[in-house]
A = this chain, B = another copy of it.
Amino acid sequence: MHRYLITGASGFVAQHFLAFLQETEPDCTALGLDVHPSSSGTFQFPYEAGVLDLLDGPAIEKVVLDFRPTRILHLASFSSVGASWKAPVDSFTNNTNIFLNLLEPLRKHGLSARLLSVGSSEEYGSVLPADLPLGETKALNPGSPYGVARVAQEQLSKVFAEGYGTDVVMTRSFNHMGPGQRDQFVIPSFVRQVVQARRMGSKVCLIRSGNTAVVRDFLDVRDVVRAYHGLFERGRKGEVYNICSGTGRSLDEVLSLLSEITGVSIEKETDPTLLRPNELMEIVGSPSKIKSELGWGPRYDFRSSLIDLVAYWEQKLGEQERSPRENQR
């Protein structure tokens, strides 16, 4: 009966991970930590949502010693690449400090909890087409302060695993998609706009966006959390695993599939403010390692993920229309 400590508990990945536990491990206990308050939800297992600033090392140490987790899922991060360019020192030091605040008590007190250190495809940074799909042995060349912090997090994990025997497993997680993701991300932003147009009876939706020719590797968040759970169960200590689909999709492809699903025609307009300098045209990962070691593979195909997302935004926008005040909170 595992005791899960989950950081970044108010986020959408954490909520899907809790839903996964509900289905597969209902005898567990969980404690969520976040700097933002979040709901304790309605889970069958004991779940508490605590508010804590992860930059407060002694407070985290106390939580770890009091709660005695057997598994720690570190999802919290200052994850905006854009913000990391505006405040590089804060982004770097905050991301590495919140991670060390969690990692160090395990070493210091010789705890045997397994820590899943969630990293990012941003660690790869600038890559050449010949490097695709990206495998875990590829040299890391992070291209943002955020990316550098993620590399440091991963390399510290490895050093702690090898040097002190701390039980850490690391990921490099690529793009996620799924219900609950905020519409500041590209796919939910597209879906919200198209669903909104359809609800208003429009047959056409104008989408203003950055470069829609870019290719990314999107994985359904429900496949992501199943991969994370698999790594708790059978990942190898001190090893890093790509979490990705292995399939690249251009945003143009996403838009045309979305048009087909919703029956709304999409007109594209380039928004120069959304064009990013030096944006990489194509980022696709190889999931071979986790596939061969864990037998994990995606269960949601991209089209059905998108259909679920359309249904989610239909419901969400409907609720907002019915209770506009709720929306303003």
- A residues touching B (Cβ–Cβ < 8 Å)? 85, 88-89, 92-93, 96-97, 100, 104, 107, 137-140, 142-145, 147-149, 151-152, 155-156, 159-160, 162-163, 278
A139–B278 Cα gap in the complex (Å)? 22
Selected from B92, B143, B144, B147, the residue in CB contact (under 8 A) with A100 is B92
Q: How many copies of this kind of chain does the complex include?
A: 2
| Residue in B104, B148, B160, B163 whose beta carbon sits within 8 Å of that of A155 in the complex | B148
Main secondary structure of the interface of A (DSSP, over half): helix
CB within 8 Å for A156 and B148 given contacts A92-B100, A138-B139? yes
A64 shortest CB reach to chain B, Å: 15
Which chain B residue shows the least CB distance to A162?
B143
A137's nearest neighbour on chain B, judged by CB, is B139
Report the Cα distance A96→B151, complex, angstroms: 13
A-B contact pairs, 14 of them (CB 8 A): A88-B104, A88-B107, A88-B160, A89-B104, A92-B96, A93-B93, A93-B96, A93-B100, A96-B152, A137-B139, A147-B159, A148-B155, A148-B159, A151-B155
B151/A156 in contact, CB under 8 A:
no
Interface centre among A143, A147, A148, A155 (most CB of B within 10 A): A155
Which residues of chain B are within 8 angstroms of A85 by Cβ–Cβ distance? Answer: 163
By a CB distance below 8 angstroms, the chain B residues around A144 are: 159, 163
Contact, CB under 8 Å: B142 / A88: no
CA distance A34 to B143 in the complex (A): 32
**Quick one: which of A104, A142, A156 has the most chain B CB within 10 A?**
A156
Contacts of A152 in B (CB 8 A): 92, 96, 148-149, 151-152
Distance in angstroms between the alpha carbons of A58 and B163 in the assembled complex: 35
* Contact partners of A89 in chain B: CB under 8 A: 100, 104
Q: Which residues of B contact A92 (CB under 8 A)?
A: 96, 100, 152, 156
> Are A93 and B88 closer than 8 Å at their CB atoms?
no
Residue of B nearest to A145 (CB): B159
Q: Which chain B residues lie closer than 8 Å to A138 at the CB level?
A: 139
On whether A159 and B139 interact (CB within 8 A), knowing A89-B104, A92-B96, the answer reads: no
Other A-B pairs beyond A96-B152, A145-B163, 5, CB < 8 Å: A92-B156, A96-B96, A138-B139, A143-B162, A144-B159
